[in-house]
Structure 1
């Protein structure tokens, strides 16, 4: 059966401009960190991707490290992009990253020019594309000069293999320095992707202010704290849906204690009084700040995706609701 996208796909999904650039993103983006790879059936993954597009989620966020194995998520996305979504390629924003641990050997991770440009070439081959829309350095590398790393991002754009450059996980100070290097090279920093949730508020410690000053967008990663803010009665949730994976749900040094569960339950109560799920309220909370361009959600099935997307129908939180949330919007 030939796929035809839903005609109403742009009717309900809000969009925000990415910083002061001309690029607009949906307020919810689909991340392929979990639920995509060889350990899951292709048809289920295909169904999530196409349903996301039908719902107006036109930004797909992936990395050369996503799987298992590493790169498998890009292969899945590539199959869908080159088949069902080929007629809609100009509507889709594809973000990929390099610099994480993507292949064996000393060049498989880091911030060197070789690592980033080789990683991008591998990603393009798996995606079946001649360019991605946004190319990120996945995480800071203190062992590589910043000028070399930013020079590689600039080269990717100048070679036509990416339209925009971004970074992930950089501190406010390093973000400002990186943006300065890119600006001098002639390739502005489009976006910074960073963890941001009720239980991880490090982005508020200067990063959002820096991005606003630079005119760069912010994409919130893990807005549901790796699942901690998604499931009712998490301690009895299926093992595959518990917080964890390749990144912790809380900032470094913090653990999931009984007081964290108490906050989860308190936040559930606030959400129920709003007539929303905890996940929907958590997404609305992250998006309450207009400096946040988009929040990346993951989905292992269509039902989970649809529940999260329903959050866009109730993004407005009243002052009273924010005040009720605030005492519990922290880890410990």
Structure 2
């Protein structure tokens, strides 16, 4: 029987989400990989236990996470039922709708039909009456933003979500959604963009809007699918994601194009007495608008190592200048398949 550590809140940082009353753990556990029907269930449980014991309270899912689609929610729902019933009110559980989940015209995107049906399915898989945050996972080019906003607002009014978020929306689209939610008095609190040292578009497109509107971000892919770790410093390991011909997330070409940059960044990390991954996570958290950084894990030890990033969050002006100079020399990378 799982019993949470009494010291679980001692080492974690909790950041306020914009001007809302909500706080998120600075590091969150994402379920994009390693929690599907193809992954060992006992290992999944061990990862979730370790996360909670380390003070991670934000658990980020989506309807289509797996494989198979939906299985991450089913597995997490089983873990919740078996081990976390008494801890539910200490957890922020999020899910999303927008990417393809079931066949036909209603299984993806942002129509009222799709969002509400998907949310109902997610709650059943999770075994919950409500989620703390429900996101529109991506903007729908064929659906008016107002329809998507109204559908998300209805989830809150029906007691199926406490807060609302959006993900992968441009700065301009985000500005429009903020106005719609403000008029509806919807508790919209967060945007979830991709953000890391190799993907910095949010700095000019999104973060200024979040700053002006007193909103926050929870960023995903902070380690750029493993590029910003020690894994590829000496080549591509046989069992790595980049060595799988079927991988849609990281290719060997991207490792080869970034290796010199990664090695230079690692030198700065070493001088800070951090691993490259720890420095990359701390670098994300330097942004005032970033309330939480989503990390993945294939084993509990990775979480222990990543949480150590919180021990050294400060950067000197010289360190930030060096990092910027290194990244400016990095040729543009084709991320179209990611």
- TM class, shorter-chain normalised? over 0.9
> Is contact 1:225-1:243 (8 Å) kept?
no
**For residues 238 and 293 of structure 1, what CA distance do their matches in structure 2 show?**
35
Between the two proteins, the alignment pairs up a number of residues equal to 327
**Aligned pair in 2 of structure 1 residues 226, 322: CA closer, same or farther (>3 Å)?**
same
**For residues 162 and 246 of structure 1, what CA distance do their matches in structure 2 show?**
33
Aligned partner (choices 274, 285, 302) of residue 304 of structure 1: 302
Deviations 1:82-123 (A, max 9, x none): 221110100000010001111111111011001001110111
**For residues 243 and 135 of structure 1, what CA distance do their matches in structure 2 show?**
34
In structure 2, the partner of 1:156 is: 155
In structure 1, the partner of 2:101 is: 102
Question: How far is the alpha carbon of 1:242 from its aligned partner?
Answer: 3.5
In structure 2, the partner of 1:263 is: 261
DSSP 3-state at the match of 1:317: coil
Deviations 1:230-259 (A, max 9, x none): 233353234444399876569xxxx72744
> Is contact 1:37-1:76 (8 Å) kept?
yes
Gaps of 5+ in 1: none
**For residues 209 and 243 of structure 1, what CA distance do their matches in structure 2 show?**
37
**Aligned pair in 2 of structure 1 residues 118, 160: CA closer, same or farther (>3 Å)?**
same
**Aligned pair in 2 of structure 1 residues 247, 90: CA closer, same or farther (>3 Å)?**
farther
RMSD: 1.8
In structure 2, the partner of 1:145 is: 144
Which of structure 1's runs of 4+ aligned residues deviate more than 6 A?
A: 243-247
Question: How far is the alpha carbon of 1:270 from its aligned partner?
Answer: 1.1
In structure 2, the partner of 1:20 is: 19
**For residues 133 and 246 of structure 1, what CA distance do their matches in structure 2 show?**
31
> Is contact 1:228-1:243 (8 Å) kept?
no
In structure 2, the partner of 1:34 is: 33
> Is contact 1:179-1:188 (8 Å) kept?
no
Deviations 1:134-191 (A, max 9, x none): 0000001110011110110000000000000110000011001011111111203210
**For residues 135 and 82 of structure 1, what CA distance do their matches in structure 2 show?**
20
Question: How far is the alpha carbon of 1:220 from its aligned partner?
Answer: 0.9
**Aligned pair in 2 of structure 1 residues 3, 304: CA closer, same or farther (>3 Å)?**
same
When the two structures are superposed, what TM-score results if normalisation uses the length of structure 2?
A: 0.93
DSSP 3-state at the match of 2:209: helix
> Is contact 2:241-2:250 (8 Å) kept?
no
DSSP 3-state at the match of 1:242: helix
**Aligned pair in 2 of structure 1 residues 246, 175: CA closer, same or farther (>3 Å)?**
farther
In structure 1, the partner of 2:335 is: none
> Is contact 2:232-2:255 (8 Å) kept?
no
Does 2:236 correspond to 1:236?
yes
Deviations 1:41-85 (A, max 9, x none): 100000000100000011000000100000111111111112211
Does 2:171 correspond to 1:172?
yes
When the two structures are superposed, what TM-score results if normalisation uses the length of structure 1?
A: 0.94
Write out aligned runs for 1:116-135 (5 A).
Answer: 116-135=115-134
DSSP 3-state at the match of 1:236: coil
Gaps of 5+ in 2: 332-338
Question: How far is the alpha carbon of 1:206 from its aligned partner?
Answer: 2.9
**For residues 248 and 110 of structure 2, what CA distance do their matches in structure 1 show?**
20
**Aligned pair in 2 of structure 1 residues 230, 3: CA closer, same or farther (>3 Å)?**
same
